[in-house]
Chain A
């Protein structure tokens, strides 16, 4: 999935009209994808369930930043506003989901 996303980003960034700022944003996207892959390895390998929750929470934060970065890959032409709305909603959902999973693990019910 990340490979497909990287190729799509690269096609957008190299389809002419790409300024230096767009290249910086694209490089930042690639670095964040690398960090997300490392966190995913920890989430798959984690000995306890709290390691997995911690890794997925950090991965969610990285995803919010990645959505905001993708909005700026072709900045002066596109409209980043809608991407930022998506990022706001994802940040809220990520926080609530983390708290809900922790509560379920601790009390074995969500009531």
Chain B
């Protein structure tokens, strides 16, 4: 076995581990939304590892053709064929890398919008819990103090307009002084 074949075998072994754990996860996880996790992620990485491992096998064959000095008349076509195989493997991996997460996202969204699998907001782990966090100087207390000053500002609106008119006049006087 050449060096690239050994590296490719390691890639295949890692892909095997990911594919098998992903399948076991899909079978064993308790509910649908937790089953999305192994099915969506481990499959995407497992296919990339296995296909790149196979591309390394083809790369080893290409390396042997070059090192044996057979890259002449007949070897040129062989090299082009091996490059074609590697290109198709990388293309297949890129295609699956785009489509597999998209399909998983579509499944998750369809299940979220479906009325039979919809979960209540109180039990939804994806819902925002920012409003439940209690911090010092809470925003809610400040909003309860607001109404008085807001009404006062509304009553003093002509005064605010006068204040707004004042600065341009001062600017004008300064420009005239200059």
Q: Which of B94-114 contact A (CB under 8 A)?
A: 95-96, 99-100, 102-104, 106-107, 110-111, 113-114
- Segment of B20-28, B126-134, B136-144, B157-165 in the binding face: B20-28
- Given A72-B54, A106-B110: A87 and B92 interface contact (C-beta under 8 Å): yes
Chain B residue nearest to A96 (CB atoms) is B99
Question: CA–CA, A87 to B117, complex, Å?
Answer: 33
Number of A-B residue pairs having CB atoms within 8 Å of each other in the complex: 150
23 inter-chain pairs at a CB distance below 8 angstroms, sorted by A residue, are: A20-B1, A24-B9, A28-B13, A28-B16, A31-B20, A38-B23, A42-B26, A42-B35, A50-B114, A54-B32, A54-B104, A57-B100, A62-B23, A62-B43, A65-B19, A68-B50, A68-B54, A84-B92, A85-B88, A88-B91, A88-B92, A95-B102, A106-B114
Question: Within the complex, which residue of B35, B57, B100, B110 is in contact with A72, where a contact is CB–CB below 8 Å?
Answer: B57
Chain B residues with Cβ below 8 Å from A102 are: 106-107, 110
The answer to whether A65 touches B50, judged by C-beta atoms less than 8 angstroms apart, is yes
- Listed in ascending order, the chain A residues whose CB lies under 8 Å from chain B are 19-21, 24-25, 27-28, 31-32, 34-36, 38-39, 41-42, 47-48, 50-51, 53-55, 57-58, 61-62, 64-65, 68-69, 71-72, 75-76, 79-81, 84-85, 87-88, 91-92, 94-95, 98-99, 102, 105-106
Q: What is the bound-complex CA distance between A62 and B60, given in angstroms?
A: 25
Q: Chain B interface: which size bin?
A: 35 or more
Task: Decide: B23 and A53 in contact? CB cutoff 8 A.
Answer: no
Return A9 CB to nearest CB of chain B, in Å.
15
B54 touches A39 (CB 8 A): no
Q: A54-B35, A58-B43 are in contact. Are A35 and B19 (CB under 8 A)?
A: yes
- Contact partner of A21 (CB less than 8 A), chosen from B9, B110, B111, is B9
Q: Do A98 and B107 touch (CB < 8 A)?
A: yes
| Residue in B closest to A30 when the chains form the complex, CB atoms | B16
For the complex of A and B, list the 8 residue pairs with the smallest distance between their C-beta atoms, beginning with the closest: A35-B23, A38-B23, A95-B99, A84-B88, A50-B111, A31-B16, A102-B110, A58-B39
